[in-house]
Amino acid sequence: MTEDTRTVRDERADSGAPSSRRRSTLLFLRDLVVIFLVAVLVSFLIKTFLIRSFFIPSQSMEMTLVQDDRIIVNQLTPEVMPIERGDVVVFRDPGGWLPARAEESQPPLIAAVDWFLAFVGLSAPDSNDHLVKRIVGLPGDHVICCNALGQMSVNGVPLDEPYVALPPGETKVSRDDFDVTVPEDSLWVMGDNRYNSKDSRYNTETPLKGFVPMENVVGRAVVVSWPISHWTWLDNYPQVFAGVDEGAE
């Protein structure tokens, strides 16, 4: 092989190197875009069908949930997994529970970022349109408050509720007495902060008389995810409601 021939071949190899690097870069960028789109799709599907994040907009569930806590909600409840007494659930306003709220305007860039984060389930801009309470009564339950000890009863069984927050000196688990029977496909819900919760007790003048339709339930809150100092699994206290089914009328 002559020296001239070697030189021509070397020049051809050198001229192909930049093209090869460009192609590798384009393939790498393509893979990054595909991975990103798949991640977005998976996040969207998880948010739509499995779990979703909400923030706590009020003090009605203290001390179980503190205002501005972030919670993870299992959306398989109640369609796939049955809901139970004691579950903390997120639900859409049945009508008249929440005051009318003016739509807040945002700069276009912030609105776009908010929309994307909500799309993939990393933020919940509609948290203020939902409520978070604890289920006390299931369909058919007879819920009464209060007995001589200040306790609430379900189907004649007095409840000892360790999750309830009461003002100093108070022993009644509800400031106001009530006596209700939960209709079919509905729930009776209450906040843990009993003297500071606009729950079923205080929405009896609404069209559904304070009951929450099952179909309005978004899911069961399972864990406090943020801040880290508040991280905890959310218990539904099955021991509190032991014997209630046996007392059902």
Instruction: Calculate the alpha carbon distances from 38 to 21, 121, 122 in Å.
Output: 26, 15, 16
β-sheet with 157-158: strand ranges across: 157-158, 152-154, 142-145, 178-181
Q: Which residues are catalytic?
A: 60, 133
Angstrom distance (rounded) from CA 132 to CA 137: 15
Beta strands 212-213 and 130-137: pairing type?
Answer: unpaired
Angstrom distance (rounded) from CA 167 to CA 63: 12
Written as six digits, the tokens of 2 are 């002559």
Written as six digits, the tokens of 101 are 């709220």
